[in-house]
Amino acid sequence: MTNELSLDHVRLTNRPLIVCDIDEVVLEFLTPFRDFLRASGRDLLPRSFRLHGNIVLIESGETVADDLVSALQEEFFLRQADWQTPAALAVETLAGLAQEADIVFLTAMPPRHAAVRRALLDRFSLHYPLVATEDAKGLVVKRLHAGRKLPFAFIDDISHNLHSVREHAPDCLLVNLMINADFRPLAPDPGKGVTKARDWTDVAQIIRAHISR
- Pinpoint the alpha helices (H) of the chain: 30-38, 66-78, 90-97, 114-123, 137-145, 159-168, 200-211
Residue-by-residue DSSP string for 86-123? BPTTHHHHHHHHTTTSEEEEEE-S-GGGHHHHHHHHHH
| Residue (21 or 102) nearer to Mg ion, CB | 21
Minimal distance in Å, beta carbon 23 to Mg ion? 4
Q: Which residues of this protein are in contact with Mg ion, per CB under 5 A?
A: 21, 23-24, 157
Closest separation between CB of residue 24 and Mg ion, Å?
4
CB-wise, 40 or 85, nearer to Mg ion? 85
User: Minimum distance from CB of 13 to Mg ion (Å)?
Assistant: 26
Residue 4 carries which DSSP code?
G
The nearer residue to Mg ion, 102 or 157, going by C-beta atoms, is 157
Distance CA 127, CA 75 (A): 24
Cβ nearer to Mg ion, comparing 152 with 154 = 154
Burial, 44: exposed, middle or buried (Cβ in 10 Å; 0-12, 13-18, 19+)?
buried
* Residue whose CB is nearest to Mg ion in the complex, by number: 23
State the nearest-atom distance from the C-beta of 156 to Mg ion, in Å.
6
